[in-house]
Structure 1
Amino acid sequence: MNKRLWLTGVIVCSLLYITIKINSKYRELPVKQHQVISKALQYEGIPYKAGGTTSKGMDCSGLVQTSFKNIAIQLPRSSKAMSTEGEKVSIHEVVVGDLLFFNIDRLQGSINHVGLVTSVNDNSVKFIHSTTKKGVIVSSMNESYWSDAFVKAKRILLSE
């Protein structure tokens, strides 16, 4: 009887630990960052649509604008105009909720793409954005395409 009780306790504790570990990635974020990232991740897999801001289709700045609108922060509609907002930060200082701006060669303008940082680990900065080929996806700054196109990072959400 004691062995069963002990084994049940071990299994329950193990499952609880695994659940906490998986869910803590976003739960530990300040409320506003959590809300912005959660909203953006709801659009993962949505196809690209120029000028799109809905689950029928989304472009990069539409994704960011819609995600911030969820917490009552109004951002400009274009990635270039967004890049003038907030506080400039180094790529080495970015946190979840910061914006990354890019200059993609095939597009016009010095800043023509934006992504929203979803996670920062020792060797990786991941961000959600909308691409013409794959729609809304999460990418990594470790990918040479994105690191080569990177222009600057901005912080819209200040510490709570």
Structure 2
Amino acid sequence: MKLSHYIAFVSIVLFSSFTIKKENKTSILIEENQTKIDRDSIVIYAKQYLGTPYLYAGNDPKKGFDCSGFVNYVFQHFSVSVPRSSSGYKNINTTKSPEDFKVGDVLVFYGYKNNTIIGHVGIICEANGMHSKFIHASSGKAGSVTISDLDSEHYSKRYYKCVDVLSK
């Protein structure tokens, strides 16, 4: 009788330890996938504002956005603090190599009239190095929130850096 109790006890302990390990693996997978989901969610959220008019100093979807107002508004929805002004991106984080670009990273550009000051920002929505696409509030032809190619002549010559505002 004692032997059967001992076998039952050992079986329960062994079974419990396997169950605990399985739960730990599951929680790790959720944490690893969560980063990807957050980045994709940022782009999905940003895309709902495609076509919203450009408005200098704007940060309200009902009125319009400027570039930094749009980026700030999108990240604020996810409780991520980013500069409100495009010039505020000059000294944050380190520059990422194009092969390390990820969806949700912020592209930083010089101004179109002055290549010594930061003048524009956007969020990568399709990461492919210097062939990436980004969503931004454009004061140019589109005059609204739009998606552009980083490798277009207009943006590639103004490119300053890419920063990851999601990894701490």
> Smaller-chain TM-score range?
0.7 to 0.9
Alignment of 1:53-72 (within 5 A): 53-55=59-61, 56-72=63-79
| Counterpart selection for 2:84 from 77, 83, 103 | 77
Tell me the alpha carbon deviations over residues 123-152 of structure 1, each in whole angstroms, 9 at most, x when there is no partner. Answer: 720001111131111001120110001011
Question: RMSD of the alignment, in Å?
Answer: 2.4
Alignment of 1:11-160 (within 5 A): 30-55=36-61, 56-106=63-113, 110-121=117-128, 124-133=131-140, 134=142, 135-158=144-167
Structure 2: give runs of 5+ residues left out of the alignment: 1-32
**How far apart, CA to CA, are the structure 1 residues paired with 2:161 and 2:115?**
17
Structure 1: give runs of 5+ residues left out of the alignment: 1-26
Match of 1:31, SS?
helix
Instruction: Write 1 or 2 for the structure with the bigger share of strand.
Output: 1
Partner of 1:23: none
Structure with more relative contact order (C-alpha pairs < 8 Å, separation 6 or more): 1
Query: Percent identity among equivalent residues?
Result: 29
Further displaced range: 108-117 or 65-74: 108-117
Moved over 3 A (4+): none
TM-score normalised to structure 2 length: 0.71
Name the count of aligned residue pairs. 133
**How far apart, CA to CA, are the structure 1 residues paired with 2:130 and 2:95?**
21
Q: 1:103 to 1:66 in 2, by over 3 A?
A: same
TM-score normalised to structure 1 length: 0.74
Match of 2:127, SS?
strand
